[in-house]
Structure 1
């Protein structure tokens, strides 16, 4: 999953990505992903919000 660059952030200022899973984890650790940002993968049905318990384990 970490090497798959198919993750996106849906932010109020616009979409960001593609990112690898490792990049998303790094952004989260640095506090650069906010609760308003949706995390999206083309295989997912809809964007997921941090802090909702809907993100895959490891985030």
Structure 2
């Protein structure tokens, strides 16, 4: 599971952008308590779908 900072670094975005995308439900994430976590597998699938669009 990846953190917001790790995902932001990986996608070359700012953490603020990742938080906004999760609020709009644009990016797959899991909330564990008050923290957001991201599955690398889910993100790879999500990126593949966006590439096809």
Assess same fold via TM > 0.5.
Answer: no
TM-score (norm 1): 0.34
More helix by share: 2
TM-score (norm 2): 0.36
Greater length-normalized contact order (CA 8 Å, ≥ 6 residues apart): 2
More strand by share: 1
